[in-house]
Amino acid sequence: MTLIADNFIGFKNSAKGDKTFQSFAPAKNEYLPEKFTQATQEEFDTAIALAEKAFPIFRETSYEQRAKFLDAIADEIMALGDALIERCSAESGLPVARITGERGRTCGQLKLFAQLLRDGWWLDARIDTAQPDRQPLPKSDIRRMLIPLGPVAVYGASNFPLAFSTAGGDTASALAAGCPVIVKSHSSHPGTNALVSSAIAKAAQATGMPEGVFSSVYLNHEHSVKLVENPVIKAVGFTGSRHVGMTLFNAANARPEPIPVYAEMSAINPVVLMENALQTQKEKIAKALSGSVTMGVGQFCTNPGLVLMIESEASKAFIALFAGEFVNTVPGTMLNKNICKAYAHGIDALNGAGATLVAEAATAANADKAEARPSAFSTTASAFLSNKAFTEEVFGPATLFVLCKDAAELHSVLNSLEGQLTATVHAADGDKEALLPVVSIITQKAGRVIYGGYPTGVEVCHSMVHGGPFPSTSNAASTSVGTGAILRFVRPVAFQDFPDDLLPDALKRDNPLNILRLVDGNWTKDKA
């Protein structure tokens, strides 16, 4: 498997620029040999022009053709074999087992979107039939469905080099919707991007997709913002920091034609441990929570960064148990040196704000391997409420226990939080009365609420919501995981009194796609 270090501009590889960079293997503390070339203005313009040209063709492909394209991408990714796993592991510092699992998820979600295209109900087809004799005015025949927005810019994420990057959820859902995609490769894993881009390009050609349906480019910061500003781009998918997410969000809204930015940015994912759960399940929760905080070196958007309890004998006993588990965790290599540095700053900030160290991994971190040392802190609710430093996400294997005096204080802390991707409660018999207001508050704060579990691990399915109120995402009505993600890249259009032969198949009277449609208020597959 030869790695092509060029930009993928449509079906061509191109490296006309003179600005090159290498990827860095954090666990080995060394640069990998290949030189990747930042796209020139001309290459950038070509990628845009090809996407624009591809859109009218791509949007007219049948859903079955698009499904075959997505299936083929998954197959081509699998065909990359160990070369992809090894490269991705080297560039991300993530172990082979994790990357292998992430590849499975990536291919699984491509195939899930292919299935969605075949099912067709996602088109939200709605038909209100004509009533030519209605008084005082006749009623027209009106049929609506969802259609693609146009070319989408996708920004690769550092923490999911496969599942949220080149062929990740944003790309899969945008392509499923009928939108060409331009991926801005993440600078941490260009080799992974190159391999996956070659798989997508191959799949596109094999399934007869138009050139420009997919490009991937290496961009500097200025061009990264210009991608959002380009009038051809009609929507943006992003997973990363709040700072960069908001830069893209603001650029998109300042355009002459504002466009939606789906940025998944920041969360501390509160976990509330109720009194009876602490009393009856403390060993189980201590062990599993320690595992959730440190899983993947804590580099998940859903990492539980905040644990809330009402102070009691049980909470003291729980923290002691947790500390006993936590010292046995081990430092791990982070995704890149900047993230490792940011983690150290985050830990410093917690210390500086007066948080008490509850426990840390027994072994110190090895700076040469960009390691992070798992660290757990505690503070009081009143301190938490009076110092914004405690509410900042510390990206990595850290968590903060917040001890509340009573239920009122617990509610105050929960109410003080910004929007979250997830919120979790652990409860047991006897907790119900105290639990109800907690569930009510966290349901308002988060996109996903979890009972008796842990927020890490995001199932790719129809019902998943990986989103939430600002700043966890820039658009609370969206999810970036699961089939609902396709809704980010479409809009409804209504056809009034159209003759059947001019209607899209989804809306034709004979229902040739055999999809579920809302006909005069009833969901049915009948002709209409």
Catalytic residue IDs: 264, 301
Site string for a second copy, 362-401 (x = CB under 8 A): ----------------------------------------
| Interatomic CA distance for residues 197 and 134, integer angstroms | 56
Residue 162 as a binder of a second copy (CB under 8 A): the answer is no
Query: What DSSP state is assigned to residue 140?
Result: P
Instruction: Tell me the two tokens of residue 126.
Output: 């709605």
Measured at the CA of 218, the angle between CA 106 and CA 80, to 5 degrees, comes to: 35
Task: Indicate the DSSP class of residue 484.
Answer: G
Q: Site for a second copy (CB under 8 A): which residue of 11, 476, 505, 508?
A: 476
Return the residue of 4, 22, 327, 495 that touches a second copy, per CB under 8 A. 495
Residue 450 sits in the site that holds a second copy (CB under 8 A): yes
For residue 120, the SS3 value is coil
Among residues 176, 13, 158, which one has the least CA distance to residue 92? 158
Among 135, 243, 502, 526, binds a second copy (CB under 8 A): 502
Task: List the one residue from 15, 149, 172, 370 that touches a second copy (CB under 8 A).
Answer: 149
Task: Enumerate residues 44-103 that contact a second copy by CB under 8 A.
Answer: 56, 60, 101
Q: Is 419 in the site for a second copy (CB under 8 A)?
A: yes
Q: How far is the CB of 57 from a second copy (least distance, A)?
A: 11
Cα–Cα distance measured from residue 249 to residue 368, given in angstroms and rounded to the nearest whole number: 35
416 binds a second copy (CB under 8 A): no
Site for a second copy contains 257 (CB under 8 A): yes
| Least distance (Å) between residue 495 CB and a second copy | 6
Q: Is 238 exposed, middle or buried (0-12, 13-18, 19+ CB in 10 A)?
A: buried
Q: Smallest distance from the beta carbon of 365 to a second copy, in angstroms? A: 28
User: How far is Cα 203 from Cα 477, in angstroms, rounded to an integer?
Assistant: 32
Sole binder of a second copy in the list 210, 294, 467, 472 (CB under 8 A): 467
Question: Is 105 one of the binding residues for a second copy (CB under 8 A)?
Answer: no
d(CA 309, CA 281): 14
- In the bound state with a second copy, the residue whose beta carbon lies nearer, of 189 and 488, is 488
Whichever of 62 and 444 has its CB closer to a second copy, that residue is 444
82 by Cβ neighbours in 10 Å (0-12 / 13-18 / 19+) ranks as: exposed
Coil/strand/helix, residue 25: strand
Of 27, 87, 32, 88, the C-alpha closest to 371 is 27
Query: CB of residue 488 vs a second copy: minimum separation in angstroms?
Result: 8
> Is residue 415 part of the contact set for a second copy (CB under 8 A)?
no
